[in-house]
Amino acid sequence: MLRLLQVNRNVRSIRRYRQIIGVLAEYGLGQLLEYLNLSQMVAASRRLLRRGSGRSTDHLSPPQRLRLAMEELGPTFIKLGQLLSTRADIIPPAFVAELALLQDSVPSIPFALIQAEIERELGAPTASRFALLQQEAMAAASIAQVHRARLIGGEDVVVKVRRPGVAEAVETDIDILMGVALLLERHMPRSDLYDPVGVVREFAYTIRREMDLSREGHAMERVRDNFRGDPTLYFPRVYWEATARGVLTTEYVDGIKVSDLAAIEAAGLDRREIARRGAVTFLKMVLEHGFFHGDPHPGNVLIMRDNVICLLDFGMVGRLDPDLKRYLTDLLSAVIKKDVKGLVETVVGNVETSETLNLGALKRGVAEFIDHFYEIPLKEIEVGRMLLDFIDLISTHRIKLHPDLTLLVKVLVVVEGMGRELDPQFDMAGHLRPFLERELREQRSPGRIARELEQGVEDYLSLAKSLPRDLKGVLNKINRNRFRIDLEHRGLDRFSRELDRCANRLSLSMIIAALLIGSSIAMQTNRGPLLFGLPALAFFGYSCAGVVGLWWMVAIVRSGRL
């Protein structure tokens, strides 16, 4: 049975590979395959381009082509594009801006399929859970679809249902993406800085969590517990009796979208107060709780009576451990204080850098970055945009940032943008300063210092305890001649393949030349059977040389490398 499942998965992968190649070819992205040194796939993509679908993409930029191709390839690639749009440290700004426009909105699927999926996930008929389940979808995305409903007890709810078959399709795409990442790691110069395999693993972890809708319910309750007792916020209740891995049932909340400024004004709500509460909520999530909403776009933020803010859709969340929070605090503090030396020391001392890092060039770049904002009043600085510029700066020096930090910066841009829409005088830096000062005081407090010293002593004791055992293991391997050092030659694989290709072409040329010379000698002998009045052996040799030579020339022309 397991073998049959594996065969089915391999068949799906082959079909999906063909589909991906076809879409990339249609959008003029066949060069991606050539970059990976997949010559046969490049030739296939060019044949597809010649056949064409009548779609012209010449007027589109490469980022636009990539975005449209990802939208057409479906949920996995849409989510991958959304993830990459948060990684300004590894992809160019033009691609970041374009991938941020990816639309995760698709036509709804028939209600009968949704109802069957709900019953399969809950293990019971829908009538046993819901008194009413509307057939028309409220919203439809690539992974899940949302319907209004009413529970048996009379509570109005929203039911989020994972699309049937999407989990299997995503797993197939993850396998393919991992294969592509391995090729990138092999062929891309300095791939260790971009870590394509690590990016795919991070993406696989994120999208698998997002497909488990029960995790979204737990994330919502965790944030609600973090803000327990705060009257300025409201979080929908999760109904666990009607929730499973593929179904999430939450309370229906009637509110005004934060982007509907006219409705907010008509309801007599205070836009300035809403902006302040939103900023404080977000900063508390990040700098106090270390667990924050990862997708607070206007559709996920509702405003209720008395300026109460309701957050929806916790499918994407970010996490900051204490070390990462401390790094972020030091970074923001140095930026706001315009401290060049402190900013450089924070960046270099806490992240993974290249061996070829030019520290002098980095200092000059940071100084120019600070000078750009030096004369601007603090309240006029857009903190999110400033951090995006800073990420762009350090990415040019091949410095990698933690993925949750890049996600945080993107979220900060969105939150700050909503704040300025609500209140033109909105000052994110002013709201940020008290949190930074409080965190810095906490870092210097005797209790925190004592805990860090205690942790350091424990680490050294653990090292001292394990060191003799580790040394004994190394010495034993040396005594038994089993000690081995593995050396990795980066960049030689492509060279060896090119060398093999050249050798094969040279060998084929020699074979063709030998056929021509041998056939010419046989032609002069006039011995053996004749064909069309010519020696049959010579005729056969010329024919073989002609067919092989023609096939060889066609292959070279198709490869695009004359």
Residues designated catalytic = 295
Starting at the edge strand that comes first in sequence, how are the strands of the sheet with 247-251 ordered?
130-140, 144-151, 156-162, 247-251
Kind of pairing between the strands at 534-535 and 309-311: unpaired
* DSSP3 helix / strand / coil % (the chain, rounded to 5): 65, 10, 25
Of 255, 258, 247, nearest to 118 by C-alpha is 247
Of 123, 121, 114, 124, nearest to 149 by C-alpha is 114
Other beta carbons within 10 angstroms of residue 515's beta carbon come to 19
Angle CA(411)–CA(416)–CA(419) in degrees, nearest 5?
Answer: 130
CA distance 1 to 410: 45
Cβ-count burial of 448 within 10 angstroms (0-12 exposed, 13-18 middle, 19+ buried)? middle
User: At residue 287, what is the residue type?
Assistant: L
* DSSP element (H, E) containing 487: none
CA distance 248 to 146: 9
How far is residue 88 from each of residues 84, 293, 336, 364, 490, measured CA to CA in Å? 8, 19, 21, 21, 26
**Residue 130 dihedral angles phi and psi, to the nearest 5°:** -120, 135
**Residue 312 dihedral angles phi and psi, to the nearest 5°:** -120, 165
Report the length, in residues, of the chain: 562
Structure-block tokens of residue 450: 């004592």
Upper half-sphere CA count for residue 4 (Cβ side, 13 Å): 1
List of residues 6+ apart from 375 with CB closer than 8 A:
none
Kind of pairing between the strands at 309-311 and 233-234: parallel
Upper half-sphere CA count for residue 120 (Cβ side, 13 Å): 12
